[in-house]
Amino acid sequence: MRNLFFITLIYCLVNMASASSQEVPKIKNDPAWLQKKIEEIGEKIKTGVSHIEVPELILPSKVRERLVLRAGPGITQRKIHASNKTEDNLLAGGFTTSFTYTPHLQWEVGIASYIYFGKIDRLEYAVNGNTVHGNGSFRSTTFLPIVKYITDISPKNAWNLYLTGGPAWSLQSFKLQSFIDSHGVVRNHHKITYESRGAVIGFGFQEMLMYKELHAAYVEFLYSYMEAHKVNLVDSSDFTKVQTVSYDDQKSPINGNIFMLNFGIVLF
Amino acid sequence: MKGSLIVIFVSLFICQVLGQSFAYAEVSPAQSGQKESKLGQSRRPKYFYSYFDRSHERQESLHYIAAVYAMSWGFYPLTQPKTFMRDGSFRNYRHNFGRLVFDQDEPFWNWFVHPLSGSQLYLFYRANGYSRSSSLGMSFISSTLFEFTVEIYSEPASVQDLYQTPILGAVLGMGLEGISMYLLNTGNPVGKFFGHLVNPSTLFWFYEGKIQLSPTINRWGGPGLNLYAEF
């Protein structure tokens, strides 16, 4: 199974490498075509594009123009449930990115990541018989393959409504206070991490601009439901090599409902 | 630590947004009608640093991927000797082959070291004439090969590294690209020094031919390398 996965991976990577070169065709030696391109560039300058890449003049590339990297800040609000009915309302900030391909004017597919970090108050957890108290920093990293459908609904000029979503995988970390483990040993510099699975759905508005160089903006509101399936107690005293002290396979909705507000721009 | 990370990302993001405008906003004294001083003349940049995207044959792209891959086998034990010696073995390699996990690493690695390496990969491909999207694609290929066939010598491939190295690397790389081009085009020696420092790929032969590396044999018959650098 692993070998099959690896062979597929190598095959895909080699094809990607060749596609990367194929996406840039040879320079055309056609004065009429070149003149047309120069006029197009002139139009772009009139519309306020500050930077025009050379290949746009001589090498139009469909694949490259359809790949879009977006990034921007975001905030999240979530209720964290822990053991012994302890819970905390968390409001955290972070950084979000997405890299998508546009196969159709109204569809985008790609991958996205949401990273948030904040502070939590005293929460109580149970891992393999150890009761531990967490406070201090909270970190969450979520990855998902996304599909985006851009509707024709445009409440403001050139801002279109879109719907988005996809299955999500997440890792959340909580810094811990010193605690006494089930063997009576005092432990410091530990953290609890939850691996969760779930899904993200949401809607947003994005500027529909003709060229990526105009750095179209977007704003989106997302809702996510996640269920933890594995909890790890991790010794992070040596930052070069963290060690998992113990783990539990469990299914508990520790982060049932997560709300996210993200905004940003097209970088390229 | 966390605060400084936020500051770095936010500053680079702002620089990225503003970079294009301030990088091209310089007006020469001749244009503004002022008389240029001797100091001004000496500081006038000799070259205009920029990136020119060009076409690449499939073979050329494969050469770059192979070169980066070979370098990663050299850099990995050099940059993380403790991890390599302590946790690395071919038994681990076999065990980790094809595995994909969420790593438990500290933010220093996942949000700083990996994006930083990704940004340098991105800038390496930019210096070799790849467009921004293609540079991201090539960085993705290189970092995926590293994750699945090099780093597994000591630890399994990680989801975070697979995504964050090329994607956050490209975001960071764009910021560094804007900053380095601005600094290099100031004509100021200090600016040029820092411009090359944040974007070392601009020093190599594939960008401006200012560094040459050639093999040699020393007087005792040992192998060596001659490094020629011009600033």
List the single best residue of A4, A9, A13, A21 to mutate versus B (max B Cβ within 10 A).
Answer: A21
Q: Span B19-47, mean pLDDT? A: 54
Query: Cα separation of B58 and B130, whole Å?
Result: 13
State whether B160 and A55 contact (CB < 8 Å): no
Q: Is B98 on the interface with A (CB under 8 A)?
A: yes
Name residue A110's amino acid: G
Neighbours of B119 (CB within 10 A): 26
Q: Span B202-212, mean pLDDT? A: 72
- Put residue B116 in one of left, alpha, beta given phi > 0 → left and psi -120 to 50 → alpha: alpha
Q: Is the pLDDT of residue B29 over 80?
A: no
State whether B106 and A236 contact (CB < 8 Å): yes
* % residues pLDDT > 90 (chain B): 32
Distance from CA of A2 to the nearest CA of B (A): 5
Sign of CA dihedral A256, B107, B7, B192: negative
Q: Residues of chain A whose pLDDT is less than 50?
A: 23-27, 50-60, 253
Q: Which residue has the higher pLDDT, A229 or B26?
A: A229
CA-based nearest residue to B115, from B169, B175, B176: B169
Considering only the beta carbons, identify the residue of B52, B86, B137 that sits closest to A16. Answer: B137
Q: Model confidence at B11, in pLDDT bands (50, 70, 90)?
A: low
Residues of chain B with Cβ-Cβ distance to A61 below 8 Å are: 131
Distance from CA of A120 to the nearest CA of B (A): 15
Q: Is the pLDDT of residue B121 over 90?
A: yes
Residues of chain B with Cβ-Cβ distance to A14 below 8 Å are: 62
In B, minimum Cα distance to A216 occurs at B17
Query: Cα separation of A134 and A254, whole Å?
Result: 14
pLDDT tens readout for residues B43-68: 666 667 888 888 888 898 999 999 99
Q: Which of residues 125-184 of B touch A (CB under 8 A)?
A: 130-134, 136-138, 140-141, 144-145, 148, 159-160, 163-164, 167-168, 170-171, 174
The 3-state DSSP composition of chain A as helix, strand, coil percent (nearest 5) reads 20, 60, 20
Q: Is B188 on the interface with A (CB under 8 A)?
A: no
Q: Is the pLDDT of residue B145 over 80?
A: yes
What the block records as the tokens of B217 is: 């044999």
Mean pLDDT of chain B: 80
pLDDT tens readout for residues B83-115: 788 887 888 888 888 888 888 888 888 888 899
What pLDDT does residue A50 have? 47
